């Protein structure tokens, strides 16, 4: 009995931490590309259910703790990109194309290898540039809303020091309490406890395919699927990468019409279910990932309340909580970008172009940052001469 309780509890913790730590990023991203509150709630619900089903299927099928989640860096990309020409239906179309590309990467290993072959400094710099605008939000919130944002940041700091995994969920709780004390959100009382699924017919245009669908695919692969696989390998597992990509890509396709932007392997919370804290026996840890999947699907029923909370709160405060959730990812991306001195300048160019938020011929900065960084490598990177 005790052998079952430990991984089940680990799975519950994984679901709670994963949901509370980044649902604000997801909602901010969906709203940034044109979703209404109802469409954003539908998207969050779709992502929770699809991710939960993927985790349960992969865990039961392969007996490996392959946790699934939404693409948090992908949601940050949506914030940085903003509404595409054509609005929300075009964004949904981009979600579908990104899902198709993930399925293709699972069906055709050379495509997956091509993505993995993008130089790590350039990929890390692109991700850092995408995350930077949200990660500066806590600073801006302290200036604009010191009475509300101050306790949130202090709470995050204290929990980050003494109970790191609960730092962002704790900051979210402090934010809710601060809002209730300073400006009671009357709109929250009318929130739907169970969100409805709102389907959107997709639309497509060339600028969104290049500026949103392709960067979303690349960010999801480079910042979620590849690191998530690396976590599992680091704990001694041999996960089927192709099957995982096909499953998460199919889940992304199914979630997209309801507003879900991307489903992928968990990277940030993967260690909670795959590590020794889940169970001393590695062959029993899959129970934790399956439990986490079930828990995440259930938590999706609170998407309506979560969306209403985000809607009634000052936007900068929600962005601040999202930014706190992404600071660790930003640190990792920056470290990956500047570690190698020979590629440092190319990485900095990638970071600057991406973070600028520039839009050229309808295509956002993430794509141009990747192009600029790769061109810098081609033009200026010198291979070490033979002795």
Q: Is the pLDDT of residue 114 over 70?
A: yes
Q: Is the pLDDT of residue 198 over 60?
A: yes
How many separate domains does the chain show?
A: 1
Per-residue model confidence as pLDDT tens digits over 41-55? 999 999 999 999 999
Q: Whole domain around residue 177: which residue ranges?
A: 1-182+201-380
What is the pLDDT of the chain when averaged over all its residues?
Answer: 85
Torsion sign over Cα 172, 176, 177, 183: positive
Q: Is residue 141 part of a domain?
A: yes
Q: What is the mean pLDDT of residues 53-63?
A: 94
Q: Is residue 386 part of a domain?
A: no
Q: Is the pLDDT of residue 307 over 90?
A: no
Crossing angle of helices 2-32 and 303-312, in 10° steps, is 40
Q: Is the pLDDT of residue 387 over 70?
A: no
Between CA 224 and CA 58 the distance in angstroms is 16
Per-residue model confidence as pLDDT tens digits over 333-381? 888 888 888 888 899 999 999 888 777 666 667 778 888 888 888 887 6
DSSP per-residue codes, 77-95: HHHHH-PPTT-HHHHHHHH
Q: What pLDDT band is residue 270 in, cutting at 50, 70 and 90?
A: confident
The pLDDT assigned to 385 comes to 45
The phi, psi pair for 68, rounded to 5°, reads -120, 155
Kindly state the percentage of the chain with pLDDT values over 70.
92
Q: Is residue 136 part of a domain?
A: yes
Q: What is the mean pLDDT of residues 237-251?
A: 92
Q: Is residue 276 part of a domain?
A: yes
Bridge partners (DSSP) listed for residue 265 = 68
Q: What is the mean pLDDT of residues 153-169?
A: 86
Q: Is residue 189 part of a domain?
A: no
Q: What is the mean pLDDT of residues 234-242?
A: 86
Q: Is residue 16 part of a domain?
A: yes
Q: Is residue 138 part of a domain?
A: yes
Q: What is the mean pLDDT of residues 204-208?
A: 89
Q: Is residue 43 part of a domain?
A: yes
């Amino acid at each position: 009995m005790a052998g079952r309780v430990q991984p089940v509890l680990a799975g519950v913790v994984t679901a709670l931490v994963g949901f509370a730590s980044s649902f604000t990023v997801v909602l901010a991203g969906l709203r940034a590309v044109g979703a209404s509150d109802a469409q954003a709630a539908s998207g969050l619900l779709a992502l929770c259910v699809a991710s939960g089903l993927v985790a349960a299927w992969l865990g039961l099928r392969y007996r490996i703790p392959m946790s699934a989640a939404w693409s948090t860096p992908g949601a940050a990309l949506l914030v940085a990109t903003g509404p595409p020409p054509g609005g929300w239906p075009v964004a949904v179309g981009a979600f579908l194309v990104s899902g198709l590309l993930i399925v293709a990467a699972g069906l055709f290993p050379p495509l997956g290898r091509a993505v993995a072959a993008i130089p790590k400094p350039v990929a890390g710099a692109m991700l850092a540039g995408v995350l930077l605008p949200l990660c500066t939000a806590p600073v801006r919130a302290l200036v604009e809303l010191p009475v509300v944002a101050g306790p949130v940041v202090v709470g995050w700091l204290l929990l980050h020091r003494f109970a790191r995994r609960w730092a962002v969920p704790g900051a979210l709780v402090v934010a809710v309490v601060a809002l209730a004390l300073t400006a009671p959100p009357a709109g929250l009382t009318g929130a739907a406890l169970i969100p409805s699924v709102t389907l959107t017919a997709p639309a497509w245009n060339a600028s969104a395919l290049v500026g949103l669908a392709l960067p979303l695919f690349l960010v999801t692969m480079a910042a979620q699927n590849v690191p998530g696989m690396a976590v599992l390998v680091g704990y001694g597992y041999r996960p089927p990468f192709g099957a995982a990509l096909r499953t998460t890509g199919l889940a992304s396709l199914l979630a997209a019409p309801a507003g879900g932007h991307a489903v992928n392997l968990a990277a940030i919370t993967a260690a909670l279910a795959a590590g020794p804290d889940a169970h001393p026996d590695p062959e029993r840890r899959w129970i934790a990932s399956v439990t986490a999947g079930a828990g995440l699907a259930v938590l999706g029923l609170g998407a309506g309340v979560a969306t209403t909370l985000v809607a009634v709160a000052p936007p900068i405060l929600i962005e601040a909580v999202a930014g706190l959730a992404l600071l660790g990812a930003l640190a990792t991306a920056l470290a990956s970008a500047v570690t190698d001195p020979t590629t440092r300048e190319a990485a900095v160019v990638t970071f600057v172009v991406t973070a600028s938020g520039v839009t050229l011929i309808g295509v956002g900065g993430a794509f141009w940052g990747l192009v600029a960084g790769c061109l810098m490598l081609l033009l200026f990177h010198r291979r070490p001469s033979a002795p």
